[in-house]
Amino acid sequence: MNDHLHGWLKTLDEERLTRVLANRPDAIAPPWPRRLDTLAQRLGNGSAVTAVMRGLPLPSLEVAQAALAMGGRVDLEALAGFMGVPEAEIAPWVDLLFDHALAWPDDEGLIRIADGVARRWAAPCGLGEPLTHYLDSWTVSADALRALARTLGLPHGPKRHTIAKVAETLSDPARLATLLERAPDGTGRLLEEFAWEGPARDVDGGRFVAPGSPEKWAGDHGLLFRPSWNTAEMPREVALALRGPGYHPPFTPAPPDLATIPVDPEAVDHLMTLAAPHMVERCAAMLENTAKVPLPLLKAGGVGVREVRRLARDTGCDEDETRLLLEICAVARLLAWDDSAGGLVPTEKFDRWRLDDAAARLRVLLSAWWRMERSSLRRIDGKYGTVLGDDPMGAMVARARRAVLGVLARLPASTACADRAGLVGSAHWHAPLLEQPLLAECAPAVLDEARMLGLVAYDTITDLGRALAVLDAAGDENDDSTPLVENDPVLVECSTRALASVRRSALFGADLTAVVTGPPSAELAELLDRAADRESRGAASVWRFSPMSVRRAMDAGCAADDLLAELAEVGTIPQPLEYLVRDVARRHGEVTVTTVACIVQASDPVLLAEIAGHRRLGRLGLRLLAPTVLASAVPAAKTLAALRENGYAPVPIEDTGEITVRRARIEEPQSGRLILLPGGRVAEFEQPPYSLFEIPPDPREHAQRLLAVDGGAAQQNGRTWAVIGRMASRLPTAQQSLLGFVVDRGVRAAIRLADGLTATISHGELRSGVLDAWCEEAGDYLEFPLADIVEVRGAYA
């Protein structure tokens, strides 16, 4: 099949080839192909074809399926007649298949469907294999074929002539109707079930050998074939004849009607500017909380309901927001598992994230949600799934999210969807490979999550949501960085506008309250949350200062002057608030608590003074708490060993004595070092020092390069080993063989040259004593003299 595709590619002009490459960026991903035959191999790759089909609308796949039902090679006129529509109606959808290299015209002008598309449907339009598949099979002997012809009243002749006559007879609805007049009772109902609900069905194998039964009669007349004892299949021609001349495959050229209502664009923008900063602020608060109290995981994986509710209560979020933000942060690599902390804690990426501007922080969250392969608010049998648990639907949930938001993005501006069923039907039309029950299950969750993120308001898409919905390069859940999404210019502009209305100042009252009339910035919310208790949120947020809240800020290390200076930057401080802060600061620290690992006691103060001043015991961090009590910074066992090494004779005592000091070692959790994967699995995570991403390939540039290559310049098969054996004389035989696989099969290998340079190469070609291969370090094709290659070893991805 690649040969047919290659032949079609050679007939394309620059404009058409550019269109194909623009629709199939997978075909020109690095290492990009240098010849049309290599391009044909990529375009025909089965998994790539399936990925492309996911993005095509329903009519194009209906046309492809109908063409496959006709044999996979058909002219446009016959295809239009089979589908019962004019040629002009299906021509645009056929061109769409051509533009994606899922079909192409062959030398005779017939439409040929790609093998990868054919493998998607085992029974296109519910039709089975053609009659020739059964009659020309080794399971049908010559005697059986003669018996079938005799039963149908056909003359016996050469095998191929007999097969053609049998197929012609059983394909004719009139002849088949005449044949069925002599059939036993129940045969018509049996065959109708196979024609409309087949082509393969479970049967009772014994009835196919019972004289006089409808099953045996149908089998004797070639209407049903049994590949196994309890399974029967109906050939394609028989099913079409039974369906009748009025049957046409389904064709839906337009999406279903979607009821809409107008909405006020200003109200939509207002809700967007409230929701977006709120989620950024609550995300920062949630991550700050997990830094103090690591979030444990269940043994079966995921975060338990009790922990979710506790986190929601501590951060002032509702439970749904907490579920959503936890999963977004895990995908965004802001939250990860840490062994030493025994739970989920913020990563080093969070430290950089909170230093970014608010719009950049929002884009990180949106990018993670866009590629997240789970739905936080999706209900299965009326219940939510486990937060960060494994979802078997995975990637299909992410595709359903994009399909639903894509439908809203196609609506005119200031138009809201008023029909959830119509929304699901329209999403299925644009993404037909997704099952409608899954879309119906995911759609309410998608809308609720998008509403929280400021992407949807009043069931209409906001400007921020529209900018996100048009982005196709979302990556998958395990991508460490998706700069194509986060750095998209339109999304940058919309996210900046969504956060433009945040308030960076507060109104302080004499009643020790602070009021923010609008969405507070993350920095302002963090400051007020640190020193006051939030009493309300919404269009306006209210905080109240109290001795306990101010002391909480000072416990976190904030001095009175620093706190007052920070508050003065966001508003005018009334005298009662300043008095409160000064009074709490005066009393703060009257009582101190010291953390020690163990204590050393002695009845002789002189002896303890000697031990405290001993130079070799300096590593113990000994401090004099009382004339007869020393505090040590290391555990009791190590303190005992150090004292004994230096000539003292200490003895351990139990905690039941008069002086009881319990060990209280408090350590700040380190940044998360492991990535949480679906199902509670973890993987090592190393954050790159800076973001790297490849520039998207230019389809027109690649089209020009491919068309400029002379087809006759391709390497001649069979000469690889001879050339390498003669020119790469520094390599042992085994390494010469590996280098040959780089040329013939495109495998990856690491090479070292005589001057010490190393490179990882693949997809090589031999040209006049040099190896022209893709170099991963350079990101381009380079030439390596065969005589200079001194070592070749395998390189595994």
pLDDT grade for 556, boundaries at 50, 70 and 90: confident
Q: What is the pLDDT of residue 314?
A: 85
How many CA atoms within 13 Å lie on the side-chain side of 381? 1
**Strand (E) or helix (H) holding 724:** helix 720-727
Q: What is the pLDDT of residue 400?
A: 92
Mean pLDDT within 288-306? 88
**CATH number of the domain within which 787 lies:** 2.30.30.100
Specify the number of domains making up the chain. 6
Only one residue has tokens 């008069």, namely: 658
In terms of Cβ atoms closer than 10 Å to its own Cβ (0-12, 13-18, 19+), residue 571 is middle
Task: Please state, in angstroms and rounded to a whole number, the distance separating the CA atoms of residues 448 and 451.
Answer: 5
Q: What is the pLDDT of residue 103?
A: 93
Could you report how far apart the first and last alpha carbons of the chain are, in Å? 29
Query: In this structure, is residue 492 part of a structural domain?
Result: yes
Q: Which of 101, 121, 141 is the last residue of a domain?
A: 121
Q: What is the pLDDT of residue 558?
A: 85
Distance of CA 274 to the CA centre of its chain: 28
Q: Is the pLDDT of residue 316 over 50?
A: yes
pLDDT, one tens digit per residue, over 56-66 is: 999 999 999 99
Q: Which of 314, 360, 432 lies closest to 64, judged by CA?
A: 432
Task: Please state, in angstroms and rounded to a whole number, the distance separating the CA atoms of residues 36 and 622.
Answer: 77
* Residue 401 and residue 476 in one domain: yes
Only one residue has tokens 């113990």, namely: 620
Residue 503 carries which DSSP code? B
Query: In this structure, is residue 256 part of a structural domain?
Result: no
Q: What is the pLDDT of residue 679?
A: 42
Q: Is the pLDDT of residue 670 over 90?
A: no
Query: In this structure, is residue 277 part of a structural domain?
Result: yes
**Crossing angle between the packed helical segments 395-410 and 358-371, to the nearest 10 degrees:** 120
Distance of CA 613 to the CA centre of its chain: 62
* Residue 522 and residue 441 in one domain: no
* Residue 114 and residue 218 in one domain: no
Parallel, antiparallel, or unpaired: how do β-strands 682-684 and 260-262 relate?
unpaired
Which one is predicted more confidently, 359 or 591?
A: 359
Q: What is the pLDDT of residue 483?
A: 57
pLDDT, one tens digit per residue, over 181-206 is: 888 888 889 999 999 988 889 988 88
Backbone angles phi, psi at 210, to 5 degrees: -85, 120
Query: In this structure, is residue 257 part of a structural domain?
Result: no
Q: What is the pLDDT of residue 161?
A: 87
pLDDT, one tens digit per residue, over 468-495 is: 998 865 566 776 545 567 888 899 999 9
Query: In this structure, is residue 269 part of a structural domain?
Result: yes
* Residue 512 and residue 494 in one domain: no
Mean pLDDT within 517-535? 83
* Residue 24 and residue 116 in one domain: yes
Mean pLDDT within 30-54? 87
Q: What is the pLDDT of residue 406?
A: 92
Q: What is the pLDDT of residue 262?
A: 93
Domain holding 193, by residue range, is 131-243
Query: In this structure, is residue 392 part of a structural domain?
Result: yes
Considering the chain, what percentage of its residues have pLDDT values greater than 90?
Answer: 28
Mean pLDDT check: name the lowest of 55-59, 373-377, 515-519: 515-519
How far apart, in Å, are the Cα atoms of 561 and each of 510, 554, 568? 19, 11, 10
Take residue 278 and report the two structure tokens written for it. Answer: 């709120």
Residue 387 carries which DSSP code? B
Q: What is the pLDDT of residue 475?
A: 62
Average pLDDT, the chain: 85
* Residue 282 and residue 430 in one domain: yes
Query: In this structure, is residue 709 part of a structural domain?
Result: no
Decide if 554 contacts 585 (C-beta within 8 A).
Answer: yes
Backbone angles phi, psi at 461, to 5 degrees: -80, 140
* Residue 385 and residue 405 in one domain: yes
Q: Is the pLDDT of residue 681 over 50?
A: no
Q: Which of 587, 614, 630 is the last residue of a domain?
A: 587
Q: Which of 471, 498, 525 is the last residue of a domain?
A: 498
Only one residue has tokens 């540039």, namely: 701
Q: Name the CA dihedral angle for 99, 102, 103, 104, rounded to a multiple of 10 degrees.
A: 50
Task: Please state, in angstroms and rounded to a whole number, the distance separating the CA atoms of residues 328 and 316.
Answer: 18
pLDDT, one tens digit per residue, over 615-669 is: 888 888 888 888 888 899 888 888 888 888 888 888 888 766 543 333 333 343 4
* Residue 91 and residue 109 in one domain: yes
* Residue 147 and residue 176 in one domain: yes
Q: What is the pLDDT of residue 538?
A: 65
Query: In this structure, is residue 409 part of a structural domain?
Result: yes
Please state whether the peptide bond connecting residue 262 to the residue before it is cis, i.e. omega within 30 degrees of 0: no
Q: What is the pLDDT of residue 73?
A: 84
Mean pLDDT within 16-27? 90
Mean pLDDT within 380-402? 87
Nearest 5°: the CA angle 647, 652, 653 is: 145
Highest mean pLDDT among 134-148, 448-462, 708-722: 448-462
3-state secondary structure of 499: coil
3-state secondary structure of 337: strand
Q: What is the pLDDT of residue 539?
A: 65
Q: What is the pTM of this model?
A: 0.76
**CATH number of the domain within which 97 lies:** 1.10.10
* Residue 527 and residue 431 in one domain: no
Considering the chain, what percentage of its residues have pLDDT values greater than 70?
Answer: 91
* Residue 298 and residue 442 in one domain: yes
Decide if 486 contacts 511 (C-beta within 8 A).
Answer: no
* Residue 404 and residue 517 in one domain: no
Q: Which of 86, 330, 121 lies closest to 236, judged by CA?
A: 121
Which one is predicted more confidently, 201 or 682?
A: 201
Q: What is the pLDDT of residue 713?
A: 44
Task: Please state, in angstroms and rounded to a whole number, the distance separating the CA atoms of residues 473 and 465.
Answer: 15
